[in-house]
Amino acid sequence: MENNGLNKVDLIFEKIDTKEVLIKAFKMSNAEIIQHMLDSGLKGRGGAGFPTGLKWKYTAAEPSPEKYIVCNADEGEPGTFKDREILDRVSNKVHGGMAIAGKAIGARSGIVYLRGEYRYLLPKLMIELDSFHKMIHEIGYDFNIEYRMGSGAYICGEESALFESIEGKRGEPRNKPPYPTVSGVFEKPTSINNVETLVTAVMIIFHGSKNFTQYGTKDSRGSKVFSVSGDTPTPGIFELELGMTVQHFVNEFGDGDTKAVQVGGASGFCVPRKKFAETIIGFEGVPTGGSMKLFNSSRSMYNVLHNYLDFFAEESCGQCTPCRVGCQQLLKGVEKVKKGESKSTYLTELMKLADTMKIAAKCGLGQSVGNAFKSIVSNFKEEIIY
């Protein structure tokens, strides 16, 4: 790789003729499209990283006559703003990805769930969706997309909470199984994919899966759009080849005084300076939906942790006890230690609570609160106590 281990790629925002790609895809058999995704090694770009080809394969295998493609555009993870940029600049590729996914799994309907904070984009997106529907019609294919808006609930980015919200209910996650591929929105088999995943799928059809596998590593194929913010001279959106270390990343984006990088947002992991060189950004190291926040030595990691815990305490849906009570107790706990009302050894108890939440919480929100908590507390203990 060039440029100190950092390779900039231009796939997501590359200008292509979406119509041509769709014509190419519609000529393939459903199994062929799915095989392309499996060969490419593409994993979901929302953060969880489930193999896209498998998700489509499982949904395709369901016998139901009615199925759905849902595009998860409820981008709420602190520090992530790539999906807004993708929808703003290349919505045609997002809609195209939904149609290709729809063809692969046998769905004629797609729903985009867009977060309420991005409502200002809607008028423009409606015009672009109109021309997309016209184009699909010209090709002689039948696929319809509608938009549903979120209303300011982070938890609705969790797939089953998002389905509940589309159905007009409180966004409370469901028990799994059944998984969405079997019973998703309106209890129909559903493939729910992130905005960036759908665009990547279009590019895999366009360039071929072999072209895609030349980028990245065995566990993290391809490239990814990163949202870079915090203490950096160059905040913004960057598409980079996967496989770099945090050190490579800091060399490019740091301000010369970076002491920690939070990879994957509030639900992700904090990487301290001493681990920059050994930590790979990707599924073999620390995974991310794209959020990369840099902190320099002027920042208090207590404030960072407090901000994240405050966020989770507010955004927990309150349905299950480990998460509802756990988030509150972690927040109160670090406040007490900071004020000297509890001994520093209390942090060990809080670490155990974070472990319990990982095992006992119902959904990804509660299960991942411990990621930031444990990685910040264990690496910056002094800053939490004093």
Partner 1 sequence: MYQVGNLVKELSDKHGHTRENLIPILQDIVHKYNYLTDEAMVEVAKELDISAAEVYGTASFYTFLDTQERGKYVIRICKTITCSMKGKSDIIHTLEDILKIKVGETTADKQFSLIETNCIGWCHKAPAILINDMPYTELTPEKVSEIIKDYMKK
- Judged on CB neighbours under 10 Å (0-12, 13-18, 19+), 137 is exposed
Look up tokens 């997501």; give the residue: 12
Q: Which is nearer to partner 1, 37 or 129 (CB)?
A: 129
Nearest to 153 by CA among 185, 116, 186: 116
Distance between CA atoms of residues 332 and 342, nearest Å? 10
Residue 238: CB minimum distance to partner 1, A: 10
Q: Which is nearer to partner 1, 116 or 208 (CB)?
A: 116
Look up tokens 């349905």; give the residue: 319
What's at 200, amino acid-wise?
Answer: T
Residue 119: CB minimum distance to partner 1, A: 5
**Contacts for 221 with CB less than 8 Å, ≥ 6 apart:** 40, 41, 42, 43, 212, 213, 215, 242
Q: Which is nearer to partner 1, 52 or 229 (CB)?
A: 229
The answer to whether 83 and 91 have CB atoms below 8 angstroms apart is no
Coil/strand/helix, residue 192: strand
Nearest to 211 by CA among 221, 220, 219: 221
User: Strand order in 223-230's β-sheet?
Assistant: 236-241, 223-230, 291-296, 258-263, 269-272
Question: String of b and e for 56-82 (b: at least 16 CB within 10 Å)?
Answer: bbbbbebeeeebbbbbbbbbbbbbbbb
The answer to whether 351 and 326 have CB atoms below 8 angstroms apart is no
Q: Which is nearer to partner 1, 87 or 242 (CB)?
A: 87
Q: Which is nearer to partner 1, 41 or 230 (CB)?
A: 230
- Point out which residues bind partner 1 (CB under 8 A): 75-81, 84, 115-120, 148-154, 165-172, 186, 227-231, 235-237, 266, 293, 299, 303-304, 307-308, 311, 314-315, 317
Helix (H) or strand (E) holding 322: helix 321-339
The answer to whether 322 and 288 have CB atoms below 8 angstroms apart is no
Residue 350: CB minimum distance to partner 1, A: 20
Residue 300: CB minimum distance to partner 1, A: 10
Look up tokens 């000529």; give the residue: 27
Residue 314: CB minimum distance to partner 1, A: 6
Residue 374: CB minimum distance to partner 1, A: 18
The answer to whether the bond into 177 is cis (omega within 30° of 0) is: yes
Q: Which is nearer to partner 1, 42 or 125 (CB)?
A: 125
Q: Which is nearer to partner 1, 58 or 147 (CB)?
A: 147
Q: Which is nearer to partner 1, 50 or 147 (CB)?
A: 147
Residue 57: CB minimum distance to partner 1, A: 28
Residue 272: CB minimum distance to partner 1, A: 17
Q: Which is nearer to partner 1, 34 or 156 (CB)?
A: 156
Residue 86: CB minimum distance to partner 1, A: 12
